[in-house]
Amino acid sequence: MTRALTVKEVLKQKKKTFAFKGKWKEAFGEPERTGVWFIWGKSGNGKTSFVMQLCKQLCEFDRVAYNSLEEGDSLTMQNTLKRYGMNEVNKSFYLLNGENMRELSDRLDKRKSVNIVVIDSFQYTQMNYKEYIRFKEAHKDKLIIFISHAAGTAPRGSAAQSVMYDATLKIWVEGFKAFSKGRFIGEKGNYTIWEEGANKYWGEE
């Protein structure tokens, strides 16, 4: 059993955060650099574009590994990387060709492994909630970002919904905007992925 902490002891702890600026800070504040983030949304609403923009932003702080469970290193993934200029962060961004969760866990256990991993998608991991908790607890020193399919406005599947509730930062993508639904919210609370598409979708001038 771990020792209980006093309020002063808790408040003295210094947590590492992402010092976001501009529209990233307006949407998500300065989130902690460890824990779980969960991103979900319907197809055709800008989810892939947002994830790539987010990865480029995170590459300014640390290395990012993207575990492409759905597409691997297929032509569509190559085209996605080209479309969003991921070659600009070539030395900080790594594509993993669909590693299963045991392989990924082994990779994260290695010395000098990446501190940020994006998993696309949660449904393709085939994890239940208990398996997710074990994976999360095994890698407390990492930032784990799950991408999820949606069923209506909810993540698809009961396990995905439970993970969403557990995540420290929950991001819902709709109409080319990403909305912070978690514990880190900036002054604006949302991020515009594509201005023209967002204006058309939301009826803004």
Q: Where are the domains positioned within the chain?
A: 38-197
At 204 the pLDDT is 65
At 8 the pLDDT is 67
Task: Give percent of the chain with pLDDT exceeding 70.
Answer: 94
Identify the residue with better confidence: 183 or 148: 148
User: Per-residue pLDDT averaged across 157-182, rounded?
Assistant: 96
**Record: fold of 38-197:** Rossmann fold (3.40.50)
pLDDT of 205 > 70? The answer is no
Estimate to the nearest angstrom the gap between the alpha carbon of 168 and the chain centroid: 11
pLDDT in tens, 104-124: 999 999 999 999 999 999 999
At 3 the pLDDT is 74
Number of residues that this document lists for the chain = 205
> Residue type for 138, please?
A
DSSP string, the chain: -PPPPPHHHHHHPPPPB----HHHHHHH-S-BSSEEEEEEE-TTSSHHHHHHHHHHHHTTTS-EEEEETTTTT-HHHHHHHHHTTGGGGTTTEEEE----HHHHHHHHHSTT--SEEEEE-HHHHT--HHHHHHHHHHTTTSEEEEEE-EETTEESSHHHHHHHHH-SEEEEEETTEEEE-SS---SS-EEES-HHHHHHHHT--
Task: Give percent of the chain with pLDDT exceeding 90.
Answer: 85
User: Per-residue pLDDT averaged across 192-199, rounded?
Assistant: 96
pLDDT of 9 > 60? The answer is no
pLDDT in tens, 31-66: 999 999 999 999 999 999 999 999 999 999 999 999
At 10 the pLDDT is 54
